[in-house]
Structure 1
């Protein structure tokens, strides 16, 4: 987790920005720093969101920790397989991850700028049509797709949470 925190902090330190768009964050990791191919940079972003190191705020990514408190070793470069070995540094990986309906709403709203009230109204309508047989977070993802939202970033997290799958 510590290495992920260091990796996440670098684009913000480099640009002196409090917030970055998803594209700018991934671009920084893949092209500015040349640490990862673009697909891996995207996975780093997803992993940081899942771990709670990054959050969506006002349409951008914001670190959920004090970036300035992170000290980087001289010539820091992440290990090639740090995403595959989250417990290699002796830390335990989280057993179960929960994601709330509010977090799903926040993601959808930030992703495509839909008015929260309209979004909740659509979700409630769909939930009613489905006779309340489907988890509200899944219904929110269905509505998000209807509005053209890219749910790939949050889909696995919601699935694991709804199904109670540990990872």
Structure 2
């Protein structure tokens, strides 16, 4: 996962951008950095979306982690068999399975996102989340409580809001 984070952070670092159009992200991986073929760059993007490292809304890709905290080793280049090392999406590699997998987001993933975005250590976040969860009598999914706490800390939750909505409610239409 760390290597995937390194790879997906590179286009944002290279372009000094906080978000990129979907095609620009793929173009950067394939042509600017010359790491992958266009088809492989698209697959890398799909894997990063599934892993919760990127969010995609209206054709714009935004990282779900602090890109500035990623330190790429000098002359970093992913191995040629990069996608093989990171497995296939879903059990059969079919888009249907990848879509279902993409809807799941764990509490740990939400916590990682908030910690990176707000710059707050996880222990403090968990303490705040547990306190709010107790005040809410444990009636609200912990991932939703985490997003509420994140907003209280001024965190931009757009990157995970839709994923949490889909995971908890089954649809983002309720958000």
TM range (shorter): 0.5 to 0.7
Show CA shifts across 1:60-109 (max 9, x none).
469xxx834279xxxxxxxxxxxxxxxxxx95242252111111000000
Aligned ranges 1:8-47 → 2 under 5 Å: 12=10, 20=13, 24=17, 26=19, 29=24
Count of equivalent residues = 124
Q: In structure 1, what is the equivalent of residue 78 of structure 2?
A: 67
- Cα deviations across residues 24-51 of structure 1 (Å, max 9, x unaligned)? 3636937x96xxxxxxxxxxxx976432
Gaps of 5+ in 2: 29-44, 54-63, 72-76, 83-92
Name the CA shift for 1:129/1:164 in 2 (closer, same or farther; >3 Å): same
Give the TM-score normalised by structure 2: 0.52
Alpha carbons of 1:161 and 1:48: their partners in 2 closer, same or farther (altered >3 Å)?
same
Pairwise CA RMSD of aligned residues? 4.4
Other-structure match for 2:152: 146
Contact 2:105 2:164 in 1 (8 A): yes
Distance (Å, rounded) in 2 between the aligned partners of 1:92 and 1:137: 26
Residue 163 (structure 1) shift: 1.6
8 Å Cα contact 2:66/2:117 also seen in 1? no
Asked if the contact 1:59/1:111 (under 8 Å) is kept, the reply is no
